[in-house]
């Protein structure tokens, strides 16, 4: 089996300051994400998988052990998270994604408010998502731990994630302590909408 590897960040650990600090980024990437990769590889050694595709694994994760679910989700979720952040982000969506957000949530500010509400409402560790549902529409949802909307263990709110906010305490506690709301507000200053637009286009292709 070809093992999964930790993706390199496309920016320095201090590049997202002051919104996400260097110490948090370093620990988050080198320790937390690396652990998910290592544990996923170890869990897959106990299966018959020879060349696993991560998206496919998660879409049928009910067939695997909790270790594959937790660590596969952790690897996927964090990989997406790093990709949509940037020290020089495009701060507003355009084109098809902009139109879909306005159509679904009335305004960009209303969308951000709903994401914040979902983030504050997620009890304990988890993620908040903007996803493309299998019918092509947008939805906001939250998941516990390292679950995500692609997983077939979910009975509702299934789809392809295009934007995810990590609300585990390890993502923000060093700088924000218990002020999750402040972290959620700061997130938009480093979200690269160009990356989210690309993921939106990719998701639409998957459901055709």
Does residue 170 have a known ligand-binding role?
Answer: yes
**Widest pairwise Cα distance in the chain:** 48
The SS3 call for residue 130 is strand
Do 96 and 169 meet the contact criterion of CB atoms below 8 Å apart?
Answer: no
CA distances from 6 to 29, 107, 148 (A): 8, 36, 19
- For 43-62, b where at least 16 C-beta lie within 10 A, e where not — what string? bbeeeebeebeeeebbeebe
Does residue 33 have a known ligand-binding role?
Answer: no
Does residue 78 have a known ligand-binding role?
Answer: yes
What is the token pair recorded at 146? 């390292």
How far is residue 125's CA from residue 130's CA, in Å, rounded to a whole number?
A: 17
> CB within 8 A of 171, min separation 6: which ones?
24, 28, 183
The SS3 call for residue 133 is strand
- Binding residues for Mn(2+), as ranges, are 28, 78, 166, 170
- Binding residues, as ranges, are 28, 78, 166, 170
């Amino acid at each position: 089996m070809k093992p999964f590897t930790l993706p390199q960040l496309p920016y320095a650990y201090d590049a997202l300051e002051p919104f996400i600090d260097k110490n948090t980024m370093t620990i988050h990437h080198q320790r937390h994400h690396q652990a998910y990769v290592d544990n996923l590889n170890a869990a897959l050694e106990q299966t018959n998988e020879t060349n696993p595709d991560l998206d496919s694994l998660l879409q049928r994760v009910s067939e695997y052990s909790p270790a594959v679910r937790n660590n596969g989700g952790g690897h996927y979720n964090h990989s997406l998270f790093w990709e949509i952040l940037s020290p020089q982000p495009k701060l507003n969506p355009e084109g098809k994604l902009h139109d879909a957000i306005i159509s679904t949530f009335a305004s960009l500010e209303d969308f951000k408010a709903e994401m914040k509400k979902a983030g504050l409402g997620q009890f304990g560790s988890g993620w908040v998502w903007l996803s493309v549902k299998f019918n092509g529409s947008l939805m906001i949802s939250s998941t516990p731990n390292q679950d995500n909307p692609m997983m077939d263990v979910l009975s509702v709110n299934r789809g392809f994630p295009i934007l995810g906010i990590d609300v585990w305490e390890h993502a923000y506690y060093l700088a924000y302590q218990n002020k999750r709301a402040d972290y959620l507000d700061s997130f938009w200053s480093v979200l690269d909408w160009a990356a989210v637009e690309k993921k939106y286009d990719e998701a639409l292709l998957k459901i055709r």
